[in-house]
Structure 1
C-alpha cells in the first residue's frame, strides 16, 4: 500500500517520525504553542464538567466490578491525572471503564482484590513496554467489526450485571459471573424483587434520558443520583445504599504502597494482566481516534500507551483498578470546550476535592440509582447504528462482527477479540485471493487521454494537480484495516484553504469497512470546513462500500476521472452530476 501527493511542491512520501514526535506528551506541545489565561479558564470549566460526570460513574463501575466504590475514585483521581499529564492525546480523559467490569469482576472473584491490584500494576508495565516497542501502531490494525462487536458485547454484559441491583433482587447464594448462569440465578430470584428499588431505577433512567434530550448541557447523571439519594432518604425507602453495603467511602487518598507480591501470585494473575493491558490499549487508542475525529487533531499512539501504562501503575500503587481512555468522558471534555490536557488533570483534582468534601453524603446513594447509570452507559456504548450497518455491509464483516459479539458475551472478552481478529485476517486473505487473476480489459487511465496504443496505461499526469486550489491524492493497492491508519493520517491533513480535494481510487481493487469508515470521517471533516471532496475512479464495489459508510453527496461527489473532478472544482460546479445521481 502506498499513497502519493502530486502538487506544485512535487512528490511527497511518508517518513519515519522522530523519537520526540512519538513520545512527547501533548501537554508540552500545547504549552509550546502558547497556553494563555483564556485557555486555562476554558479547561477549568471543562474539567469541572467532566468531574461531575465522572463522580457517580467511577463509583458505579467499581461496584459493578466487584470492588468498593472508593477504588473507582482512586482510579479516576490518580490514573486520570497521569493519563492527561503524560498522554499523547490533547483531550483524553482516563479512569475506570465499563468495558473492564467483566474482567475485573472475574479477577476479583478468582484472586481477590489484591490480585486485581497486582494484575493492574503488571498490565501497566506491559503497556509501557508496548508503547516503547511501538506496538501502538499495530493495535490500530484491529478491524472495525471487531471493535464494534466487542463493544456491543460488553454493553450486554454490563446490562446483565446490573439486573440484580436494578430490581433489588435477593439471591440465595453468590451471583454467578458467567452470562447464562447469571440469568438463570436472577430468574430464580424474581420473587424477591423490591418495588422500591425498581422505582428508584426507573425514575433515575427517566431523569437521565429526559435531561439528555431537553437539557443536554446539564449533568443528568449527577442530578439523577442526587435526586434518588434525597428521595430515598426523605421517604425512608427500603433500598440498599452505598452506606448499607460498603459503609461509605473514605475522605482521603491512601498512602501509595506496593501490592502483595509473590511469584506464584504473579503467575496466577498473568493471563488477567495481559487481558487488562490488551483491552486498555484498544479502548484508549479507540477513544483517542474518536477525539481526533471530533477535533481534527492527531494523537501519538505510542506515547498514549506509555501514559496509560504509567497511569495503571500509579492507580495500583494507590489501591485503584484498571485505567484506560474513556470515549464518553473524552467527548464530554471536548464538548465542554477543553483546550488541552490541563482539563483532564483538573478533572482529577476536582474529583479529589469532591472526595474530601462530600464523601459522607455518598453513603446515601441507592445502589439502584448507580445501576440505572450503568444501564444508560451500556445503552450508549452499544454502537447500534454501526452494528446494523456492518450487518448490511457484507457477509464477511457480518461474520466477524457476530463472532466477536457472541464470544464476548458467552465465552471471554479476550477470546472474542482474538478470534474476531483472526477471522478478519482470514477474510482479508480470502478477498485478496479472489482479486488475483488474469483478464482482458480496456486499460484504465487516470485522466481523459487515450492509452499509448500498446494496451498500457498512460503515465499519470501530475500537471492536473499543479494548482493552488486543488489537492489530488492517488491511492494504490488494497485499502483495508492494515493500511487505514496510515492512509487516514495523510488524508486527515486537509485543513488547508484549497477549494477542492480529490482522492483517486482507480488503482484500489478492494476497500473494507474500516477503510470506508476512515474515509467517512475525512469526508465529514472536509464538509465541515467547506472543502469540496471528489472521489474518482471508484469501482462499483468500492463505491458501494463508501456509500454504506456515509461517503455520500454532498459530503463527497463522484467522478469517473481526475480531469473531470478538477474541471468541476475549478468551474465551481455545484449541481450533482450523473455519477452523483447514480451514487445516491
Structure 2
C-alpha cells in the first residue's frame, strides 16, 4: 500500500471525519491506557505515555490505514512478569529490543510468517491471558489490602484467599456501579464511551460518598504528572541485552501477531488492504521510541481500531489525532485522574478479559476432540499456570508434531499391477519430508531378491520434497541400481525436480529417465524390456 493511497482524495470532509473519530477513540483510549499499565505492574501514567507516543507513530508509519496502536490486554501477563522479575527499567530496554526485532522482521519481509501460528495456539494463549487479566483484578474489585503480587496464577490466588477478610464494601459498591455501566450502557447507547463514563460516574460517587475509604490511583501510585517525561535512552549493555533477549523476542512476536491480526480485522471492516511488512516496521519504530518517553510496549488494538472505523475515520490522521487528544487530556486533567478509585478500573479490565476470551471458539475446538483440542488445552493451561513463553513454545511444538503425524498418515504408496513381470511401478502420493520419508523407504525397499529389471516411480502427486525425502529416494535408487535395476521417474513436479537437480540425484538417475507423462515412461520401459528380452533370446 503506497503512502499516497492512504490519503487519496483527501479533503475537508475527510478531515472532519478524522477529527470526530480521533476524538472518540482518544476518549476511549484514556481509561484503557491507565488500566493496562496498572495491570502490567507499572504506574498508570506510563500507559498514557504509551497511548500518546506509540499511538501517533503507529498511525503515522504503519501499514494499516485505520490501525490504532497503544497498550493492550494481550501484553499484560508478559509485562507484569518482566516487571516482577527484572524491574521497570529493564522492561524499557526489552521494549526497545522488541522494536528493533519488529523492524528487522519487516525489513526481511517476515510479516506473512506470523500468520502461520496455528489457530488453537492463538485461541489457547488468548483465553489464558483473559483468565490472568480477569483474576488479576479480583483484589482491586474487592478492595483487598496487604497483598503481595506474584508472577504466576496460583500464588496470586492463594494471596487473594488469605486476604479475603480485608474486603472493602466501599470498593465493591464502586466496582459494581462501574460494572453496571459497562454492561448496560453499550446496549442502550452503543456510541458512548462506556469505559470513560463508568470511571467518571463511579469515581464521582466514590469521591462524594466514600472519600478516603478506598484506594485510588493517587493513594497507590502517587499523582499523575501533567506532561510527558523527559526523553531518555534506557541504559544498554551487552549483558543486559542478553538477559532481556527472551522477553524481547516474546514481546516482538506477540506484538507483531496482535498488530497484524488487528490490521486484518480493519481490512475486513473497511475494505482496505494493509501492508504487513510496513506495519511491522511502523510497530517496531514506535516500540523503539516509546520507552524513551517512559512508555511500555505497544501493538495494534483491535477494539480501538474497530471503534476508529465505526466512528467514520477516513485516514491514518484519525490515529494521530487520537494521540494528541490523549496528550491534551493529560495536560489538562491529570490532577483529576489521581482521584480515580482502583475499584472503578477493575471492571473495565474484567470486561476486556471477557471480550477477548474467545470462549465460543474455545468450546468449539474442545468439542472436536482432535489433536487441535490437545494443542488448545495445553497452551491455555500453561499460559495460566506457568507463563506465555512456555505456553507458546509447547503449543507450537505439539502442533508441529501433530502436523507431522497427519502428513505422515497422508502419504500413500501404491504398487500398481503391470502385464510385464519385470516392470515394477509405485505411485507415490503426498509430500516427502522428514515426517514421511521413513515410511516411503519401508514401502518401496525390497525385502526379497529383486526380480524386476525396471522400477518406475510415479510422482505426479508429490508436491514437496526435503533433504530427508531426497535421502530415502537416493538409498532406494542405489539399492535397486546395485541389483541392475533401471530406475525411471514420471510426472515429477517443479519443487521436487528443482531439489533433485540441486542435490545431483537427478543426474544420478539420468535425465533421459525422467518423463512428463506416466504413459510415456511405461512405453519407454516396455520398449527397453522387449529389446532386452529379444537380445537375450
Q: TM-score per shorter chain, which class? A: 0.7 to 0.9
Distance in 1 of aligned mates of 2:179 and 2:162:
25
Correspondent of 2:70 among 78, 89, 95: 95
Deviation at 1:175, TM superposition (A): 2.0
Query: Of the two, which has the highest radius of gyration?
Result: 2
Determine if the alignment matches structure 1 residue 278 to structure 2 residue 253: yes
- 2:6 aligned residue: 30
Deviation at 1:439, TM superposition (A): 7.1
Determine if the alignment matches structure 1 residue 331 to structure 2 residue 306: yes
- 1:120 aligned residue: 95
Runs of 4+ aligned structure 1 residues displaced above 4 Å come to: 438-441
Q: What aligned pairs does 1:362-441 form with structure 2 within 5 A after superposition?
A: 362-437=337-412
Deviation at 1:408, TM superposition (A): 0.9
Determine if the alignment matches structure 1 residue 155 to structure 2 residue 130: yes
8 A contact 2:84–2:150 mirrored in 1: no
Correspondent of 1:166 among 141, 146, 154: 141
Deviation at 1:56, TM superposition (A): 0.4
Deviates more, 1:415-424 or 1:201-210: 415-424
Correspondent of 2:30 among 55, 58, 62: 55
Q: What aligned pairs does 1:59-70 form with structure 2 within 5 A after superposition?
A: 59-70=34-45
- 1:301 aligned residue: 276
Deviation at 1:404, TM superposition (A): 1.1
SS in 2 for 1:50: helix
State the superposition RMSD in angstroms: 2.2
Task: State how many pairs are aligned.
Answer: 422
- 1:536 aligned residue: none
Deviation at 1:39, TM superposition (A): 1.2
8 A contact 2:125–2:383 mirrored in 1: yes
- 2:80 aligned residue: 105
- 1:234 aligned residue: 208
- 1:201 aligned residue: 175
- 1:547 aligned residue: none
Deviation at 1:303, TM superposition (A): 0.7
What CA deviation, in whole Å up to 9, does each residue of 1:394-430 have, x standing for no partner?
5122111111111111111122122222222222222
SS in 2 for 1:34: coil
Determine if the alignment matches structure 1 residue 268 to structure 2 residue 243: yes
- 1:537 aligned residue: none
What CA deviation, in whole Å up to 9, does each residue of 1:256-315 have, x standing for no partner?
110122333222222211121111111111111221222232211111111111000110
What CA deviation, in whole Å up to 9, does each residue of 1:93-143 have, x standing for no partner?
100111111111121122221111111111111111111111111111101
- 2:498 aligned residue: none
- 2:227 aligned residue: 252
- 2:440 aligned residue: none
For residues 269 and 207 of structure 1, do their structure 2 counterparts lie closer, same or farther at Cα, with a shift above 3 Å needed?
same
- Extract unaligned runs of 5+ from structure 2: 417-429, 432-460, 464-537
- 2:55 aligned residue: 80
Correspondent of 2:190 among 195, 207, 216: 216
For residues 393 and 45 of structure 1, do their structure 2 counterparts lie closer, same or farther at Cα, with a shift above 3 Å needed?
farther
Distance in 2 of aligned mates of 1:146 and 1:268:
26
Distance in 1 of aligned mates of 2:150 and 2:195:
28
Distance in 2 of aligned mates of 1:396 and 1:229:
48
Distance in 2 of aligned mates of 1:390 and 1:28:
42
- 1:518 aligned residue: none
Deviation at 1:147, TM superposition (A): 1.1
What CA deviation, in whole Å up to 9, does each residue of 1:75-106 have, x standing for no partner?
01001110000111111110011111111112
Distance in 2 of aligned mates of 1:192 and 1:136:
49
Deviation at 1:384, TM superposition (A): 1.3
Determine if the alignment matches structure 1 residue 141 to structure 2 residue 92: no
The TM-score, its normalising length taken from structure 1, stands at 0.70
Distance in 1 of aligned mates of 2:145 and 2:20:
42
- 2:324 aligned residue: 349
The TM-score, its normalising length taken from structure 2, stands at 0.75
Deviates more, 1:349-358 or 1:261-270: 261-270
Deviation at 1:72, TM superposition (A): 0.4
- 1:39 aligned residue: 14
- Extract unaligned runs of 5+ from structure 1: 1-20, 442-476, 479-506, 510-584
SS in 1 for 2:85: helix
Distance in 2 of aligned mates of 1:429 and 1:411:
27
Distance in 2 of aligned mates of 1:85 and 1:28:
13
8 A contact 2:152–2:387 mirrored in 1: no
Q: What aligned pairs does 1:455-466 form with structure 2 within 5 A after superposition?
A: none
What CA deviation, in whole Å up to 9, does each residue of 1:204-249 have, x standing for no partner?
1111100121211111110000011111111134110011112221
Deviation at 1:438, TM superposition (A): 5.3
For residues 385 and 233 of structure 1, do their structure 2 counterparts lie closer, same or farther at Cα, with a shift above 3 Å needed?
same
SS in 2 for 1:256: coil
- 1:225 aligned residue: 199
